[in-house]
Structure 1
């Protein structure tokens, strides 16, 4: 199924201090492979909450028009990042207003989240 393009916005596991990033790095790689396997073109914008994520997100959103923007579960479900989650949703509405907004629960189900809105 060809669809897209999709932008995935999530936390960069390598830039989050205090925990082992490798399981998430591996899950992201599996998520990217699943998107390719379903012929969905996707760009990834991985940010660190304490490194001006808004700038990177605006840059990604204004680079091209996306059919769907998937917001990762790390941003959406971690309560201390509630303000960042709100910012992400509003930046999508402002800079890519035609894009559907979807939510994943892990990098591996990103393709499912995107396809709910690309069908």
Structure 2
């Protein structure tokens, strides 16, 4: 899919418990990695809207629904912080289901870190 708008959903760095993450990962370093990942997306030519959510399934769903009202997205990327932390399983389910319900036919892709977001999107769309 060429020239497709993408939605990138991830946990806001302020919402994480850094005591459960590997050494060296803190709010400042994660914020910097996310900013660098977003810059790489722009440099690669992707039309991406970023949505950083809190871990509340209700709040995250509301934020995503609001963005979906304002744009047509062909693909959504859900970040590893949402998917890979067992305590966010309900959040992940809710996000997947709201995307499928609100945008029939949307493609989903997944990164493993902010640094792999470009690769995740390239699997489904071209800038």
In the superposition, the TM-score normalised over structure 1's length comes to 0.89
Flag structure 2 segments of 5+ consecutive residues without an equivalent: 20-25
- Which string of whole-angstrom CA distances, capped at 9 and with x for unpartnered residues, describes residues 28-84 of structure 1? 111111111110011111011137211111112222111210000000000011011
Match of 1:107 in 2: 114
Counting matched residue pairs gives: 118
Question: Which structure 1 residue ranges, 4+ long, deviate > 4 Å from structure 2?
Answer: none
In the alignment, the residues of structure 2 paired with residue 18 and residue 115 of structure 1 have an alpha-carbon distance, to the nearest angstrom, of: 30
Shift of 1:87: 0.6
* 1:62–1:96 Cα contact (<8 Å) kept: no
Give the aligned partner of residue 41 of structure 2. Answer: 35
How big is the shift at 1:18? 5.5
Distance in 2 separating the partners of 1:98 and 1:86: 17
Q: Does structure 1 residue 97 correspond to structure 2 residue 115?
A: no
5+ residue gaps in structure 1? none
Name which one, 1 or 2, has greater alpha-carbon Rg: 2
The answer to whether residue 12 in structure 2 is matched with residue 12 in structure 1 is: yes
| C-alpha distance in structure 2 between counterparts of 1:109 and 1:7, whole Å | 15
